[in-house]
């Protein structure tokens, strides 16, 4: 792990990290998030709504979000994504929609931000489509589960840095 913030230069100014000297490698990241809602809202998501299939719309939104990450996060590099997979499933016991996104590229920098953006946008889309029924929804646990590639190799949540 780095001992400093890589997006801040020696004078304290924000900067885009120079990745030009890094080797191209296969990079992959997996992120997850949840949208908690009441049982009636969850039932309607399972059945579909007047706005369409909530989970399908959120899946497409998540993929679009990953593709637009560098437009949303100022210091992110635009990346040629090889793939973005967004999975949404209902967890009735926990009362939520669980969103998992996997982003992959062959490049000089990782795709953690793309996976996290895909999850965030998909969660926000679920919220948007369901808010008329349940305004008390909570989006939480948006986090990186794993990443691989580059100098730092493989990292999995719950393992040492």
- Output the pTM of the full model: 0.89
| pLDDT tens string 33-48 | 999 999 999 999 998 7
| pLDDT tens string 135-155 | 999 999 999 999 999 888 899
Q: Which residue is catalytic, options 82, 91, 128, 134? A: 128
| pLDDT tens string 103-138 | 999 988 889 999 999 999 999 999 999 999 999 999
The per-residue pLDDT for 51 is 56
Is 128 designated active site? Answer: yes
Exposed, middle or buried by CB within 10 Å (0-12, 13-18, 19+), for 10? exposed
Q: Of the candidates 108, 116, 104, 122, which has an alpha carbon nearest to the alpha carbon of residue 145?
A: 116
What are the chain's domains? Answer: 25-146 (3.30.70.640)
């Amino acid at each position: 792990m780095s001992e400093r913030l890589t997006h801040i230069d020696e004078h304290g100014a924000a900067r885009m990290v120079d990745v030009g000297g890094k080797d191209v490698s296969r990079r992959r990241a997996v992120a997850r998030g949840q949208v908690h809602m009441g049982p009636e809202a969850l039932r309607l998501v399972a059945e579909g709504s007047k706005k369409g299939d909530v989970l399908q719309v959120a899946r497409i939104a998540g993929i679009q979000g990953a593709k637009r990450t560098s437009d949303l996060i100022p210091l992110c590099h635009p990346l040629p994504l090889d793939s973005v997979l967004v999975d949404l499933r209902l967890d009735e016991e926990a009362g939520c929609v669980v969103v998992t996104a996997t982003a992959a590229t062959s490049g000089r920098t990782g795709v953690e931000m793309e996976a996290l953006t895909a999850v965030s946008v998909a969660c926000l889309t679920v919220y948007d489509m369901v808010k008329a029924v349940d305004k008390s929804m909570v989006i939480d646990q948006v986090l990186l589960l794993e990443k691989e590639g580059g100098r730092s190799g493989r990292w999995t949540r719950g393992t040492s840095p």
